[in-house]
């Protein structure tokens, strides 16, 4: 077997191993259970960060987590305003 042929076969083995790692990584990323777990963890972190902010702990240093706190507070404010509108219209 020539050196060139051995080098080609070694490259094929490396490429196959890399492809296998890529397929495994994509499988893990696209697994619905993993995605659900990630979403649940993010939601819990947003609730905890919002609770900390409301109780005087300030916004998180991480920009995306701070944005999540602002979104959660905005959504809560929207629900309160909507409830107030419904109650006021029902009284008329």
Structure confidence by residue, pLDDT tens digits, 34-43: 899 988 998 8
User: How many angstroms from the chain centroid is the CA of residue 54?
Assistant: 23
Nearest C-alpha neighbor of 65 from the set 78, 47, 77: 47
Task: State how far the Cα of 46 lies from the Cα of 40, in Å rounded to an integer.
Answer: 10
The dihedral region occupied by 56, where left means phi > 0, alpha psi between -120 and 50, and beta the remainder, is: left
pTM score, two decimals? 0.54
Cα angle, residue 52 at apex, residues 33 and 58 outer, rounded to 5°: 120
Summarised one tens digit per residue, pLDDT across range 75-84 is 999 999 999 9
């Amino acid at each position: 077997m020539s050196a060139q042929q051995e080098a080609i076969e070694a490259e094929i083995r490396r490429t196959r191993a890399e492809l296998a790692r890529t397929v495994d990584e994509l499988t893990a990323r696209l697994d619905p259970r993993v995605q659900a777990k990630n979403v649940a963890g993010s939601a819990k972190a947003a609730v905890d960060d919002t609770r900390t902010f409301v109780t005087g702990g300030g916004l998180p240093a991480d920009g995306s987590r701070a944005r999540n706190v602002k979104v959660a507070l905005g959504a809560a404010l929207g629900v309160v305003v909507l409830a107030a509108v419904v109650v006021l219209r029902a009284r008329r």
